[in-house]
């Protein structure tokens, strides 16, 4: 966990310390993003055991990101990005008849690479992939009492989107992401549709 936090801090420091770049999609950037999030849980494995939840939850998600892009030739862009996200009203509660199971995501961190093609000087179409980690608090309340645990769930994500330069230093993007946070046989999937704005140095 400390390694992940250090990586996020390093990317942000590099972004802020690097000199300005007037060319979109080439150099450091920081930004904000928000949009739709859906967690789809089957029977995820947790420290409390395999819990049969079998529910989906739609919610609002927002966060920040920082990264670096490198333009190759006239048409291709590769880069890396780190992000931190939080959900709003994303708690999943299942009444089993014998008690309640609650899964409450707290935050998510992602470290990804992306590669894209410049349709023109101001429009980038790209694919993304990499590592994600979600902090989730799980609670079981039944006749045996209340048991609760907070876990860091490691996973992977893939996605793609389109980013457009608004000015020399500001870009806007739309993106879809899929993440698998299952950690075993149990299902824990995450779908996101996000819009973001970045400032490029």
Helix (H) or strand (E) holding 54: none
In this predicted model, what pLDDT tens digit does every residue of 160-179 receive, in sequence order? 999 999 998 999 999 999 99
pLDDT tens track for 100-121: 999 999 999 999 999 999 999 9
121: exposed, middle or buried (C-beta count within 10 Å: 0-12, 13-18, 19+)?
exposed
pLDDT in tens, 7-48: 544 544 444 444 444 588 999 999 999 999 999 999 999 999
User: What is the rounded CA–CA span in Å between residue 10 and residue 140?
Assistant: 38
Are residues 111 and 82 in contact, defined by beta-carbon separation less than 8 angstroms?
Answer: yes
- Identify the CA nearest to 163 among candidates 123, 197, 116: 123
Confidence of residue 183 (pLDDT cuts 50, 70, 90): confident
Kindly indicate whether the domain formed by 2-200 is annotated with CATH number 3.30.365.10: no
Identify whether the C-beta of residue 198 lies closer than 8 Å to the C-beta of residue 26: no
Q: Looking at residues 42-59, what average pLDDT do you find?
A: 94
Q: Structure pTM?
A: 0.86
């Amino acid at each position: 966990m400390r390694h992940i936090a250090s990586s996020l801090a390093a990317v942000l420091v590099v972004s802020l310390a690097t000199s300005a770049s007037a060319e979109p999609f080439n150099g450091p950037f920081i930004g904000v993003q928000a949009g739709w999030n859906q967690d789809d849980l089957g029977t995820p494995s947790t420290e409390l055991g395999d819990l049969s939840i079998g529910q989906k939850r739609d919610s609002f998600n927002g966060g920040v990101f920082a990264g670096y892009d490198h333009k190759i030739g006239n048409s291709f862009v590769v880069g890396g990005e780190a992000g931190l996200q939080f959900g709003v009203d994303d708690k999943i509660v299942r009444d089993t008849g014998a008690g309640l199971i609650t899964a409450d995501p707290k935050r998510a961190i992602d470290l990804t690479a992306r590669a894209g093609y410049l349709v023109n000087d101001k429009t980038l179409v790209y694919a993304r992939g990499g590592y994600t980690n979600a902090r989730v608090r799980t609670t079981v309340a039944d006749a045996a009492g209340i048991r609760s645990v907070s876990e860091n769930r490691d996973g992977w994500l893939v996605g793609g989107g389109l980013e457009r330069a608004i000015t020399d230093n500001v870009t806007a993007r739309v993106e879809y992401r899929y993440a698998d946070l299952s950690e075993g046989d149990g299902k824990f999937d995450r779908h996101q549709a996000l819009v973001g704005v970045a400032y490029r140095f």
